[in-house]
Amino acid sequence: MASQKSRRGFYAGSFDPITNGHVDVLIHALQLVDHLTVAIGVHPSKAPLFTPEERKALIEEACHAAASSAGSVLEIVSFDDLAIDAARRSGATLLLRGLRDGTDFDYEMQMAGMNQAMAPGLQTIFIPASPAVRPITASLVRQIARLGGDVSPFVPAFVQSKLVAKFKTIG
């Protein structure tokens, strides 16, 4: 029997750094699509900790095995314009968004409405984060790591080592 999946998904975020919460949502997203584009948002007004290239390498390491296991293609790109425009360029028909709590839901519903108005061909799919990873945010991970705290429960081990190395170099 042929696969029922014939969908291209688009999951955008800053991924600075990728967390266990991101990985959780990505693993679920890979079950829904044949091709998943993970899109790293690059905004000139923000000063990220990791470069887009570093974030791309971290995402690849965190998710390559899951993509192979799901039989899905994983593509990682960066973009500096509207997510819907980047999604269209990737050929996506599904915008995949992770939800942690009601605050995320309220914000994401507003975004989904605006995206639907601007890009009717793109459907937003919400993926609830698993309970164990719901409190994790990349900004909290960066703050804990910056202050020398243990972020091992919140990020893959190789991300933790990259955070430690990054904060040693920048002080």
CB 26 within 8 A of CB 53: no
> What's the average model confidence in pLDDT over 133-153?
96
Q: What is the pLDDT of residue 2?
A: 47
Strand partners, 98: 127
Cβ burial, residue 121 (10 Å; 0-12/13-18/19+) = exposed
Q: Which two tokens stand for residue 129?
A: 């984060």
Domain boundaries, the chain: 8-134
Determine what percent of the chain is predicted with pLDDT higher than 90.
91
Euclidean distance between the first and final Cα of the chain, in Å? 56
CATH class of 8-134: alpha beta
pLDDT at 142 over 60: yes
- Express each pLDDT in 97-126 by its tens digit: 999 999 999 999 999 999 999 999 999 999
Give backbone dihedrals phi and psi of 133, rounded to 5 degrees, phi first: -110, 0
- Predicted TM-score (pTM) of the model is 0.92
